[in-house]
Structure 1
Amino acid sequence: MSTEMGTKINQLFHLQPPGAILQSSWLVRQGYSHDLQQRYKKSKWLQSIGTGAFIRTGESVSYEGAIYALQKQIGSNIHPGGRTALSLLGKAHYLELATKRIVLFGGSNDKLPAWFKNYDWGYKIAYYESSFLPLDLGFTEIETKNLSIKISGPIRAMLECLYLAPQKQELIECFELMEGLNNLPPKQVQMLLENCNSIKVKRLFLYMAEKAAHSWFNYIDLKNIDLGSGKRSIVKNGVYIEKYKITIPKELQEYGRNI
């Protein structure tokens, strides 16, 4: 290998932290042509994990490294959300460890690359494109495996859980998660609810927050939150909650405190 090629690969390895996936399109923008990428692969400096993505040879791979690459290299909005985000924030460990399932959300224009979908990350990946929340609200940055990635903060994550309910997320489980959110900042809750465009999600969130008797619920101004009109049947043959005009499972209504 030439000295120039060796210098260039050393520079590349300093551009991204260990554990980060290296996307081919990003490498090209950094001055590493497709031909050069293939030479690095042939020289066993890089290892392909699918079309358009590499890792440093010998490195272990994690989905966090893939999320880092999507966010930092191509500006994707794809992020850990729902109960996966709550787990990463230390609010749902017992659930996430048992399920071995990673929940990802992205905007309506975000596509999960084929290399991400086809690689075995050791978890089942559930990815949802949605536009029920703005893409600039409710996030937090965390450090995991020496990588900084953007994930949903607790409020946004709870709203994402309810977005998936009841078909892809059990409502009882949602309420158990809500019970653990006893220190939410009311102003941030208010802002996200005002900017959420799912009537179902907002009604369920407020119902569960009141049912959990969180003190921050008392500071929410319902008059400024559009809860729509008419009834919403979340499940068939359930119990109707007049205040929020929703029909929910009987077991949820009987779980814990009634309102």
Structure 2
Amino acid sequence: MATTIDQGSFKMLLRKHPRGEPVDMGVLRREGISAFRASAWARSGWLDHLGRGVYAVAGDELSRDGALVFLSRQVPGFHVGGKTALAWHGLEHDIAFEEALSLWGDRPKAIPAWIAERFPVRYQTTRILDKQAHASLGLKPLPAGDPRVLVSSPERAMLEMLSDLGKTQSLADTRRLMEGLGGLRTKVLDQLLARTDRIKVVRAAAHLAADLGLPWASLARTHSDRLGGSRWIAVSKAGERLDFR
């Protein structure tokens, strides 16, 4: 049976915790709520159990941003990137409603079933920038988004998309997206290309930008030449030949 103290603690939690956001034990402990009490609240119907040590306020519907905030607390370097970030910046208008969110982080993480069954996601730990730049360059919250969720800038998102080329990203779709990226900020792109570790990404940026006549093609070519070496050749999972000089 709920006590007056329990009721007061729960009401305080309701006032402070954002709607649509899961409640994990880290949040509860900061409010002085033990795992035992949280379990009792779940048995009383005040909380819904989502997964081990994770709850939702009963009757609350988990939101996409709430799930992303939860993951940002769990995963170092977590951010929204690639094609999803381009769409969120208004640079990709044809992304399908059911298309998986492109999520990135620094360490392997099994996406909890209670997130995956609500929101299709694709998570990866690919690092495209050098160690010093990786954690912060080209990452910040969207102006109208949750300040706790980092999103790649259009320039970084493009490079992340290019790293997916041949894996989850087809050459035809990549070309279509690149056609709309002529307005990328040259200074920001220069900073990112200078810190990009992956030859494939730089070669692809230079090749496609030149092929499409994008304003920053010469910049990308400069960085591709800086890396030296010969062309980059591979065959995608779909059987496409990728050949970037």
Same fold (TM over 0.5): yes
Deviation at 1:166, TM superposition (A): 0.9
Deviation at 1:222, TM superposition (A): 1.7
Distance in 2 (CA, whole Å) between partners of 1:120 and 1:86 is: 24
- Counterpart of 2:104, as a letter, is F
- Counterpart of 1:203, as a letter, is R
Q: Any residues of structure 2 matched to 1:58-207 within 5 Å, and which?
A: 58-71=59-72, 73-74=73-74, 76-97=76-97, 99-107=98-106, 109-115=107-113, 119-121=116-118, 123-133=119-129, 134-142=134-142, 147-148=146-147, 149-207=149-207
SS in 2 for 1:7: helix
**What is the match of residue 45 of structure 1?**
46
Deviation at 1:29, TM superposition (A): 4.0
- Counterpart of 1:104, as a letter, is L
SS in 2 for 1:166: coil
4+ runs of 1 displaced by more than 4 Å?
Answer: 218-221, 223-226, 236-241
Distance in 2 (CA, whole Å) between partners of 1:240 and 1:58 is: 53
Distance in 1 (CA, whole Å) between partners of 2:125 and 2:109 is: 8
Per-residue CA distance 1:49-82 (angstroms, 9 max, x = gap): 22222111111123321111222x4463222221
- Gapped runs of 5+ residues in structure 2? none
Q: Quickly say closer, same or farther: Cα 1:167–1:204, change in 2 above 3 A.
A: same
Q: Percent identity?
A: 26
- Counterpart of 1:102, as a letter, is L
CA contact (8 A) 1:83 1:103 kept: yes
**What is the match of residue 20 of structure 2?**
19
- Gapped runs of 5+ residues in structure 1? 246-259
Distance in 1 (CA, whole Å) between partners of 2:57 and 2:15 is: 12
Distance in 1 (CA, whole Å) between partners of 2:146 and 2:58 is: 18
Distance in 1 (CA, whole Å) between partners of 2:52 and 2:243 is: 51
* Number of residues of Structure 1 aligned to a counterpart in Structure 2: 236
Distance in 2 (CA, whole Å) between partners of 1:191 and 1:101 is: 29
Per-residue CA distance 1:112-162 (angstroms, 9 max, x = gap): 453556x411x4321111222212111231267x74422222111111111
CA contact (8 A) 1:64 1:147 kept: yes
- Counterpart of 1:89, as a letter, is H
Deviation at 1:182, TM superposition (A): 2.3
